[in-house]
Chains A and B, each alone.
Chain A
Amino acid sequence: MEKTIEMSTRNRTGIDMSPVDSQTMIDTAEKTPPSSSGDESALAALDSTYIREAEPVGSVPVPGTLKGLAEATLNKLGGRNPEVFIDKLGERLAFERTGTRLYDYLITKCEATNAESKISIDTLKRFRREEAQHFKLVAKTLESLGADPTAQTPGADVSAVASSGVLKVLSDPRTSVPQSLEAILTAELVDNAGWELLSKLAGEMGLSDLETDFRSALAEEAQHVMQIRQWYEQGALAEVGAAS
């Protein structure tokens, strides 16, 4: 198996690379007092002022087409807060759409590097297809509730910010397949939790057909997590020289 991690003297980031310079730098920093007293709690105090004054990142759009079905469904939610459900659906929709692109990157990387045979490109393509199908499932669900599946909800926005680093790792030509697997595992773990939550919300709201659909998506997502994690661990163990 090809090694993806190399040890060399080229890494220049630590103080051990230039002990004399580092020591004089440390000595100077130690004997030079800070220009203002206090500690990092000063940052928290300023942050708190802004937190108290802050507006939310945005709002959930009002359903534009209250069709018969939508009205009936929303009525079933009687007394509940449909905006919470719509926000979470919007979040899952966006996540699955981006997840599809993450698999596109991983497939390209595995194909371009002739990655180790333990990773099945066909399985990655199936996962990619399932991510796209999950996206469509949520889009149809939003339509059935009269909500606009093309709108970006606050949950969608914030979760995209949270996972933006994953996309950055996957799309960097320099990152290895194991590094990419770790990044996609980050996404799959939170995706799994997201589907679990959606299934519970649907059940709680008495939307049993939806709950069934969401539980089947959750079962597929659970397979994604299990498989990606297995490849991720196997790859590291093989590279470290462990007996397979």
Chain B
Amino acid sequence: MSSVKWAHSAAAARPRLAAVGWRPALAVLAWLGAALLTRFYPDATRHWPWTVGLANIELGMALAIGVLAVLAPRSVRVAKGLRHLAAWLIVLALLLAAWELLTAKLGRLPMPFFAPPQALIAVYFNDWARLLDSLWHSALLLGSGVLLGAVCGFIAGVSIGWSSAIGYWLHPVLRILGPVPSTALLPLCFFLFPSSWSASVFLIALATWFPVTVLSWSGVASVDKAYYDVARTLGAKPGFLIFRVAIPAAMPHVFVGLFMGLGASFSTLVVAEMMGVKAGIGWYLQWAQGWAAYANMYAALLLMALACSGLISALFKVRDRLLAWQKGAVKW
């Protein structure tokens, strides 16, 4: 008993630095090394602007990690976060340094195709207005299409699941139209619709609609019949059975459909923007490639990856809020 007590107090008295381990220190060293490499190793083929800027950003990372590591003993949250991220922070610094070395410093990778990291920073600084504008247009197009598709898909799925009369008419449409990749309809839609924008909204909506419909339907169809019995003996009317029993019970399925729909909508968006819509990130990618501005392309790709990931994360947040009653759902 006393030895247990002793061990406990010893752990408490141990130097606080141990709380985050030695990895943050390694991370600081790695980022410092990357900064020194970027700043002082001579460029191979040409001088890249923003080299000093990149070095300063790397230095900034080293400093930020250092400051957090010093603050960590004061805050459990910071300590936990830092301990969790430390390994990735080290690897990121090494990868960035390797990228810098292979492109700008040694020139091992063929040049216009592989831009060094500082070229991306230059793009973000010089072309931010156009990038932001593209992002905004993509968001508008995606938002309109996904909203339309998700709402229609949810209503269609619940209706098919609930009413066999509606199912009779909607089911064949779903079976024929649903599995067609919506990008295959792109050429057709561009001349059927008054504008390429409305055609794209339709196609993105279609891409979202299919999985949302199928999963809302299967969600409603798989509701435990006993739930309806319980509600009916307690005096529930059909409206109550749909909105208070069938739909809440189907929500986990609906969210799987939304995730699949959102994923499908991304690819439709980019293809639509590359093929006809004269704005947006897809258009920017195409445009950058046409001018052999590969740094711009990478910059736009990175931006797109972050934006898409952000949207998926946001959807996960919404799901976690709405489906807090579920246990053991996948964490994003």
Q: Do these two chains really belong together in a complex?
A: no
